[in-house]
Amino acid sequence: MKIIKGIEIPLTICVSYTIISLGAALFELLFGINTTTHTNSLLMFIWTCIAVLTLSIHYLFDNWPPILMILVQYIIAMGLVLLSVLIFSFITHDHVTEYLSIFLSFSIPYAIGATCFYISVFTYAKKQNQLLEQIQKTSKKS
Amino acid sequence: MKLNLIKSQTEDRIDILYTEMTPVIQEILDVIKKTKPILYGIKDGEKTLLMIDDIFYFDTVDRRCYAYTEKSVYQITQNISTLESDLNPFGFVRINKSNIVNIYHILRIKPEANMRIKVVLKNNEQLLINRSYKRNFENYLIQIRKEL
């Protein structure tokens, strides 16, 4: 068996927790035990997938201004979230009326996550660009 | 100091045997280190002497190595690992398994998804810095910056 160490420990915990939670939620929903907790677990998972997939299509908007790109990605993500809620409302026979609550539940974590993600990527690139600029300027002078 | 010059048919090589590092030997070493390696490229069957400074990047395709200048491509005989070590002091750094880039021809660094970054060259060509080479690239820039 592979030894789990270092960064693999929190990753393994996250994956195991996700599998157990989703497995339990799906199992209970299949057997007709329909609780809000199970529906929420599945919806949270779907929304997380939507958010991650939407962020990962960043390269399609390479030539767009960053703000417009983030806005478009958010609209795509929000559209998919509302669609998932609509589909879920037919499956679970729960008519979701709290759209404002769903909008906020998704928007706030998405905004925080997207901001952190882009700040780290752009900061890294900015730092490298500054270094390059300094190197190229100094080498021209010499 | 005894000096031997031996003509070789196979390789250019310098061996220095010394008992103690003297200023003269150090000076010789500095000259050798600053000497840019000679690189020949083949294009349309013609062998051309390439200027290291004109090369934007190297690329390996099917174990063949190519040197890319602003507008031309030349096939070269050296492999990517040899180029990486030989050209490291002259602004060339490995950015992925098959590319070595000349940092003096980089226009800018462009962020990509999944924390990957792209290098945009002055001729608008783009190369990807692999995640495993990202730290190496960053350290190289810091090291060059310190040396200047």
User: pLDDT per residue over B25-49, tens digit each?
Assistant: 888 887 777 677 888 999 988 999 8
Q: How confident is the model at residue A125 (pLDDT cuts 50, 70, 90)?
A: confident
Residue A1 has pLDDT above 70, yes or no: no
Instruction: Confirm if B127 and B118 have CB atoms less than 8 A apart.
Output: yes
Output the pLDDT for position B67.
95
A88/chain B closest Cα distance in angstroms? 30
Q: B102, B106, B124, B142: best mutation site toward chain A, by most A Cβ within 10 Å?
A: B106
Residues 6 or more apart in contact with residue B50 via CB below 8 angstroms: B39, B40, B41, B67, B69, B74, B76
Mean pLDDT, residues A87-97: 67
* Identity of the residue in B103, B114, B145 whose CB atom sits nearest the CB atom of A56: B114
Residues of B in contact with A122 (CB under 8 A): 111
Contact B116, B123 (CB under 8 A): no
Beta bridge partners of B75: B42, B66
pLDDT at B9: 81
What pLDDT, on the 0 to 100 scale, is given for residue A94?
A: 57
In this prediction the pTM is: 0.57
Residue A37 structure tokens: 């907790």
Using CB atoms, pick whichever of A56, A122, A139 lies closest to residue B104: A139
Q: Is B137 near chain A, with CB under 8 Å?
A: yes
Q: Which residues of chain B have pLDDT under 70?
A: 34, 112-116
